[in-house]
Amino acid sequence: MEPSVKTFSSPNWKATSVATDEEVKVHVVLKHGEFHVKQLEERLMDVSDPRSPDYGNHLSVSDVKQVLDLPPAHTNAVLDHIHSFNTTSVSTNTYGDIITVTLPASEAASMFSTSLSVHEHAKAPGSMKESHSVIRATEPYHVADEIAPYVSLVEGLVRFPKFEFKPTRIGEAYRPPAFEGLEGSEFDSCGSSCSGFTTPDVLAAAYGFTPVAAADVTDGNRMAVAEFQNQYYDDADMEAFSDACGLDEPVEVATNVGGNKPSRCGFGVQACIESLLDIEYIKGVAGAIPLEVYYSGTFSLYDWAVQVNDDDAPAQVQSVSYGNDEIQQTSDEYMFTTNTEFMKAGARGVSVLFASGDQGVWGRSGTTGGIFHPDFPAASPYVTAVGGTDFATKSVIGEETSWADSGGGFSNTFDIPDYQADAVATYKTTATLPDSSLYNNTGRGYPDVSALGGQVNSYCVAYGGKGSKFGGVAGTSASSPVVAGVFAILNNVRLATGGAALGFLNPFIYQNADAFNDVTTGNNNAGQRTKGGFDAAEGWDPVTGVGTPNYAKLEKAI
């Protein structure tokens, strides 16, 4: 299976022997016919296109199952094969297309004709060794011939989580120099500890939204963020942020899926800063709209997408500040399988937003290979990618420019979708482009939209646990929850008048590009000025998308 997988080790992971009775958990993903996946895509676009008579008529779980039309005989054949082994537990997801199996390592090695080892992360601190240990195959894996036609891949055998143990972009280095007139301005709205930083008030002034009051939340309207890699959250920091910024609606989490360990948030700068950024700013924007936090101890975006889709009524807006380069994905099969999960979510009326990345066109792989490295999932055609901007003039709310480190470009895996074809063609015929050898001219362009995310006025974040500290954080990890919060407010308006949630956003975005603040200056070369990047331009561009939210225009457009 997954013949494109060539590497079964990682320099970040040290392999050790695995006990025969140690349990392994995998997901056997069943294969959908190409025709049925195409049918799902067509239904997704139909219910997401404002010009369609079916706009907003989102699919139910049973509708999605009917479209994908997975023969029960396929599922039963795979289940029969699995039950011929000594398993601990076997369960099937809501759609009947993912079978989760827990079994001893010896049985897993036999079932998938491979060898397994325990892998410990080489850079994990001693206190985190146990939580940063995974069992993975050390050679290709296989499924039996009689079920091979029915199986797409087995998740949990070959992909290593992407953990990072490095300082977060935070602290005094990201504080703007003293600026006349900050006192009493939006840049001073979270107190002296945050003076000069971007705050909820700065965002409200820049984009024109008003956070939703508790009395105005439409019944059933919800939003969510996803967290991984020991990124938890704590009440002390959320309360400190709410108090310092004088928020009418306090920052709080309504529902947690996957667990939380707030005590971890006192373990230095790295602890919890990513999750607190997401939570403090999606709530700082959207106000009282209930927030859910999905947590997974490993970094599997596929697992997260499955978890969302298995929810009978998932939150209508989902923001994710994680990703990796397409080239860092283990296989194309994995990306296409994950895309099917994104399509399911969008067809059911869920807006999925991903940060576009913080290394410009070069991605996490850098200048290796001398080509640009597009991001996944940001470059997936079935998600909304969010890039980052800066104020054109430091500490002045107004015109924005692109952030040099904002991820953007063109996919090497996915073709240009119809909804953005005209916008991409216009950009390519009017802009000055980098050398054609650096990128794929036929690939899906991203990001789709953007919001403040750069270092000119970094975001004020409360972190550190009891006795919270305040510091500046930069990145599209801030941009994504901000845009998600704006769309959660827009959903609140639609739902209050009996309308449907906006769902998959991209067709709406490209048909209403004039409802965004166009960003026309800057480049996302990540400081590699001699090697180029893409220039921002009038209209859509692969740096800032169609621009940043203009709430007043968006509210009219919906």
pLDDT at 166: 42
Give yes or no: 477 in active site: yes
Q: Which of 155, 278, 358, 375 is catalytic?
A: 278
pLDDT at 38: 98
The answer to the question of whether 80 is labelled as a binding residue is no
- The DSSP code sequence of 82-148 is HHTS--SEEEE-TTS-EEEEEEEHHHHHHHTT--EEEEEETTS-GGGTGGGEEEEESS-----TTTG
Integer Cα distance of 511 and 516 in angstroms: 11
Phi, psi of 423 (to 5 degrees): -65, -40
Please give the distance of CA 9 from its chain centroid, rounded to a whole number.
Answer: 26
**Apex CA 172: angle with CA 166 and CA 178, to 5°?**
155
pLDDT at 300: 80
Q: Are strands 23-30 and 98-104 parallel, antiparallel or unpaired?
A: antiparallel
Rounded to whole angstroms, what are the CA distances from 266 to 171, 172, 237, 283? Answer: 16, 19, 10, 22
Integer Cα distance of 257 and 309 in angstroms: 13
Identify residue 259 by its one-letter amino acid code.
G
The answer to the question of whether 539 is labelled as a binding residue is yes
Residue 377: asked if its preceding bond is cis (omega within 30°), the reply is yes
- In this prediction the pTM is 0.94
Q: Which of 478, 479, 473 is nearest to 171 (CA)?
A: 473
pLDDT at 163: 59
Rounded to whole angstroms, what are the CA distances from 312 to 60, 296, 315, 351? Answer: 9, 19, 10, 16
As separate numbers, helices (DSSP H) first and strands (DSSP E) second, the chain gives 13, 23
Integer Cα distance of 534 and 544 in angstroms: 10
Q: Which residues contact 322 (CB under 8 A, 6 or more apart)?
A: 226, 228, 299, 301, 354, 355
Q: Which of 185, 296, 477, 480 is catalytic?
A: 477
Q: What dihedral angle (degrees, nearest 10) is formed by the CA atoms of 297, 298, 299, 301?
A: -80
Q: Which of 227, 316, 229 is nearest to 276 (CA)?
A: 227
The encoded tokens of residue 472 equal 């500046």
Q: Which of 380, 287, 291 is nearest to 329 (CA)?
A: 380
Torsional class of 184: left (φ above 0), alpha (ψ -120 to 50), beta (otherwise): left
pLDDT at 48: 98
Domains of the chain: 13-155 (no CATH), 186-557 (3.40.50.200)
- Angle formed by the axes of helices 273-286 and 476-496, nearest 10°: 30
pLDDT in tens, the chain (558 residues): 998 888 888 888 889 999 999 999 999 999 999 999 999 999 999 999 999 999 999 999 999 999 999 999 999 999 999 999 999 999 999 999 999 999 999 999 999 999 999 998 876 655 454 556 889 999 999 999 999 999 999 999 998 876 554 434 454 444 555 555 677 789 999 998 899 999 999 999 999 999 999 999 999 999 999 998 778 999 999 999 999 999 999 999 999 999 999 998 887 656 789 999 999 999 999 999 999 999 987 668 888 999 999 999 999 999 999 888 888 877 889 999 999 999 999 999 999 999 999 999 999 888 888 899 999 999 999 999 999 999 999 999 999 999 999 999 999 999 999 999 999 999 999 999 999 999 999 999 999 999 999 999 999 999 988 888 999 999 999 999 999 999 999 999 999 999 999 999 999 999 999 999 999 999 999 988 667 899 999 999 999 999 999 999 999 999
Q: Are strands 351-355 and 384-391 parallel, antiparallel or unpaired?
A: parallel
The answer to the question of whether 64 is labelled as a binding residue is no
The answer to the question of whether 54 is labelled as a binding residue is no
pLDDT at 177: 52
Q: Which of 155, 201, 234, 274 is catalytic?
A: 274
